[in-house]
């Protein structure tokens, strides 16, 4: 089961509508985390390659792409969605091999999410409008606003959802009339390279979408510092996000950041536990915990704490952990040896700080799993709020189970974090719902559900979880400038 796209030769950079070798001639390996085997070699782009890609994006922005009407932009986005739908099995296979996600998840909700996003942005391409404004400066003066594309976008995405993350950057940029230089995560670049081919097949002009693979400290840094990049759209860790802000000062480029989290998921005693148990469990174990808004701080009302955590543990233990290509697999590996080491180090930190493992807690090494980067769903008990495992993002299938007594207490503790991306509330009490929906400091509050997404609904964070919104009409606004025009017709 090897997509024809992989071929035998190293994968190249995609710049100005062509496959090109990196200026350095260097490549790096991409590894299947389910078995530790090398899938392909990929071009290691650097500063010169970023310069070439930005120059191509600038030419396209000022040239052929600028002559596309909103209706024509909408048409090529819809065509791209059609091609992705046609080739989705191949694209999902590339992602599963590259970062380990189960094919069953990618081809089910993943397909709907990817296509829904593109089609939503296609609809927004023809709804970009300005306003006429009655001013008080003169009765013989017409004032109006025009919305214009920002320009060249540097898009940097993570490895936990390569295809859908790429579409979350490319879609609104194309709808607004911008051009893009995409830097995928080095751990999972393959579907983004295949996506570049589909962009050309859809009729998107050369230079509008460019893909430069490489390491963050070389290609990523060069993109964030580039003086001809008008905006950086980044998804990743808050530490890298802070570096991007510092790198953006050269030309004061626009920046939107969708960063990490340590999200509270709150379960009250009156909740429907038959729904709350799987909902809270998959809110942190889904995608092997490699989700920025995962509900990793599970607050449970004390009167049901023991029962609820036992049920979550049993649910986690029932999940099938295995190769992402196995149709029975529900939980795949973490993305790399480096990420495995990171999660295992946090598990040890938790134990050293006095937490106890209620479930999981060690690498899976039985037959069929020993060569991959597999961890079971892991639950920590005896967790204090000041522990590192309760404060820092682990990005693995690890949850801290914490009892609480009152709504006042859990409200305070839920907000006692430097992050603010997601949150959950499980209760039948509408008073609790509306109180916490108002007072929790997070960009999303899911009530009696978790991590539900829709392209029409904005998503983003508070505090160290970043700023700007992805999804909703607000998303395309992030790729537009507003120009005011004053016409003296006296």
Q: Which residues are catalytic?
A: 258, 292
C-beta separation of 221 from 45 below 8 A: no
- Tokens describing residue 475: 């998303």
> Do residues 60 and 73 make contact, with C-beta atoms less than 8 angstroms apart?
no
Listed as own residue / partner, the contacts of 128-135 with beta carbons closer than 8 Å and 24 or more positions apart are: 128/70, 128/175, 128/176, 128/476, 128/480, 130/482, 135/486
Q: Which residues contact 178 (CB under 8 A, 6 or more apart)?
A: 61, 149, 150, 151, 152, 153, 230, 231, 479
Alpha carbons 151 and 176: distance in angstroms, whole number? 9
Return left, alpha or beta for 444; rule: phi > 0 is left, psi -120 to 50 is alpha, else beta.
beta
Question: What is the radius of gyration, based on Cα positions, of the chain?
Answer: 23
Q: Give the torsion sign (CA, 441, 287, 155, 222).
A: positive
Q: d(Cα 422, Cα 261) in Å, to the nearest integer?
A: 7
In angstroms, rounded to a whole number, what is the distance separating the alpha carbons of residues 40 and 98?
Answer: 10
Q: How many CB atoms lie within 10 A of CB 131?
A: 11
Q: Which residues make Cβ contacts (< 8 Å) with residue 132, sequence separation at least 6?
A: 142, 143, 144
How far is the C-alpha of 259 from the C-alpha of 488, rounded, in Å? 46
3-class secondary structure, 320: coil
Give the list of residues 6+ apart from residue 437 with CB closer than 8 angstroms, or none.
425, 445, 447
Q: CA–CA separation, 196 vs 46, rounded Å?
A: 19
């Amino acid at each position: 089961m090897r997509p024809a796209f992989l071929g035998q030769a190293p994968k190249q950079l995609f710049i100005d509508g062509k496959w090109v070798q990196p200026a350095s001639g260097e490549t790096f390996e991409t590894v299947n985390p389910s078995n530790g085997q090398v899938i392909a070699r990929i071009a290691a782009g650097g500063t010169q390659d970023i310069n070439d890609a930005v120059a191509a994006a600038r030419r396209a922005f000022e040239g052929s792409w600028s002559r596309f009407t909103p209706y024509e932009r909408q048409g090529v986005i819809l065509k791209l969605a059609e091609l992705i739908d046609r080739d989705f099995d191949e694209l999902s296979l590339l992602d599963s091999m590259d970062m380990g996600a189960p094919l069953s998840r990618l081809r089910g909700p993943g397909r709907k999410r990817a296509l829904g996003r593109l089609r939503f942005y296609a609809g927004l391409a023809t709804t970009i409008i300005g306003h006429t404004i009655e001013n008080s400066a003169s009765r013989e003066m017409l004032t109006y606003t025009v919305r214009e594309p920002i320009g060249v976008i540097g898009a940097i995405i993570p490895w936990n959802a390569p295809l859908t993350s790429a579409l979350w950057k490319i879609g609104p940029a194309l709808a607004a009339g911008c051009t893009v230089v995409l830097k995928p995560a080095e751990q999972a670049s393959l579907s983004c390279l295949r996506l570049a081919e589909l962009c050309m097949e859809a009729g998107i002009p050369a230079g509008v979408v460019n893909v430069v693979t490489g390491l963050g400290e070389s290609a990523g840094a060069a993109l964030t510092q580039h003086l001809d990049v008008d905006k950086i759209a980044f998804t990743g860790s808050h530490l890298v996000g802070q570096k991007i802000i510092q790198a953006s000062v050269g030309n004061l480029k626009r920046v939107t950041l969708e960063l990490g989290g340590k999200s509270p998921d709150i379960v009250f005693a009156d909740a429907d536990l038959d729904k709350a148990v799987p909902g809270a469990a998959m809110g942190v174990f889904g995608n092997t915990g490699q989700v920025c808004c995962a509900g990793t701080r599970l607050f449970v009302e004390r009167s049901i704490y023991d029962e609820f955590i036992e049920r979550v543990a049993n649910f986690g233990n029932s999940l099938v952990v295995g190769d992402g290509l196995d149709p029975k697999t529900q939980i795949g590996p973490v993305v790399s040896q480096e990420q495995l080491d990171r999660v295992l180090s946090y598990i040890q930190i938790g134990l050293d700080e006095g937490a106890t493992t209620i479930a999981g807690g060690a690498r899976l090494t039985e037959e069929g799993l020993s060569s991959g980067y597999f961890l079971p769903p892991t639950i920590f008990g005896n967790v204090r709020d000041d522990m590192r495992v309760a404060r820092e993002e682990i990005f693995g299938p690890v949850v801290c189970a914490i009892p609480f007594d009152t709504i006042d207490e859990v409200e305070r503790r839920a907000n006692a974090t430097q992050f603010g991306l997601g949150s959950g509330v499980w209760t039948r009490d509408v008073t609790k719902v509306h109180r916490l929906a108002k007072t929790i400091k997070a960009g999303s509050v899911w009530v009696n559900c978790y991590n539900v997404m829709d392209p029409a609904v904005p998503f983003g964070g508070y505090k160290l979880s970043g700023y700007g919104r992805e999804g909703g009409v607000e998303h395309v606004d992030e790729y537009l400038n507003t120009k005011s025009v004053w016409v003296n017709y006296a």
